[in-house]
Amino acid sequence: MTPDRLRLIVADDEVLARRLVRDYATRCSGVSIVHECVDVASLAAALEQGGADAAMLDIRMPGGDVFEVLEDIGQQQPLPALVFATAYDRYAVRAFELNAVDYLVKPFTESRFAETIGRLRQDRGPGAPADGVPRLLRDLGRRPDRLLVPEGRRIVPVAVSAIGWIQAKRDYARIHAGNKSYLVYRTLNELEERLDPAEFLRVHRSAIVRLDQILEVVPIGSGRYRLALKGGGAPTVSRGRAQALKRFIL
């Protein structure tokens, strides 16, 4: 990336969003849009072709998982610097802040766009640090190594392998990991989708457990069971979920 030139990929399935970026870019000296992508397939093709200094990406696009595309291509060749332009919720946005060059919350102003271009020119060359974007992609992808969770006023990583169980708390979920627990604004359904079913099991509408944390399974009547977990906690297995647990019992 030369100081006076920046070649940009814009990936967004919304026509108006792409038009807005195009308009802003025409008034930013040295910025040119080399690809406009409307779905995951066109984004993959643009990244594989190369030649871009940066990519401005929406998260939710038709045709697949943006993070999987980035991770797959990132294993084959250097990625351009990444900026996320999204209306996604605050948890993901704060996660991007840990590693991405920048994030833009839709709708964003022309001055905010110009600020991002300035950051790209000042702080990043072509490609991203090896320990930054790939880790971000894993954290926010379909099968993360870690979950990024709030702890006070910070966001901290919790290794998925450290999670003992997860408990529903109305619209929130409490993640129990080691001797700590974290309250996150996520439903169990959302978390269940991101956890490996070979390692985690939904045992109740209000509980997910890590299978290797189960110490004991105790029948409590009416087709239900009580679990004893290594790190503490005693979630109930509902009658409707008991059959799934029995698959793991010899």
pLDDT attached to residue 218: 94
- pLDDT tens-digit series, residues 135-192: 565 666 667 888 878 887 677 788 999 999 999 988 899 999 989 999 988 899 989 9
Which pTM does this prediction carry?
0.56
Per-residue pLDDT, 239: 93
> Is residue 165 classed exposed, middle or buried when 0-12, 13-18 and 19+ CB atoms within 10 A define those classes?
buried
- The bridge status of strand 81-86 relative to strand 54-57 is parallel
Identify the pLDDT of residue 32: 96
Q: What is 146-246's CATH superfamily?
A: LytTr DNA-binding domain (2.40.50.1020)
Burial class (CB in 10 A: 0-12, 13-18, 19+), 212: exposed
Distance from chain centroid for Cα 58: 12
Partners of 11 in beta bridges: 37, 57
The H or E element spanning position 112 is helix 110-123
Which residues in the chain are classed under CATH 2.40.50.1020? Answer: 146-246
Place of tokens 């906690």: 233
Torsion angle (degrees, nearest 10) of CA 193, 199, 203, 204: -30
Write out the two tokens for 170.
Answer: 């109305």
H or E segment and range at residue 172: strand 172-177
Which pLDDT score is estimated for 6? 94
Q: What is the pLDDT of residue 38?
A: 97
Which distant-in-sequence residues (6+ apart) come within 8 Å of 102 by Cβ?
A: 83, 84, 115, 116, 119, 120
Quote the pLDDT of residue 96.
Answer: 56
Q: Which CATH architecture has domain 6-140?
A: 3-Layer(aba) Sandwich (3.40)
> For residue 119, what pLDDT is reported?
86
Strand, helix or coil for residue 82? strand
Angle at 90 between CA 182 and CA 87, to 5 degrees: 150
Q: What is the pLDDT of residues 201-213, one digit of tens each?
A: 999 999 999 999 9
pLDDT score of 2? 53
Residue 124: CB partners within 8 Å, gap ≥ 6?
1, 54, 81, 101
Quote the pLDDT of residue 87: 76
**CA atoms of 92 and 117, how far apart (whole Å):** 21
Q: What is the pLDDT of residue 150?
A: 81
Which part of the chain is CATH 3.40.50.2300? 6-140
- Which residue positions in the chain have pLDDT lower than 50? 1, 91, 94-95, 97-98, 125-131
Q: Which helix (H) or strand (E) holds 229?
A: strand 224-229
β-strands 200-204, 207-210 pairing: antiparallel
Question: Do the Cβ atoms of 52 and 46 come closer than 8 Å?
Answer: yes
Residue ranges with strand state E in 3-151: 6-11, 31-37, 54-57, 81-86, 102-105, 146-151
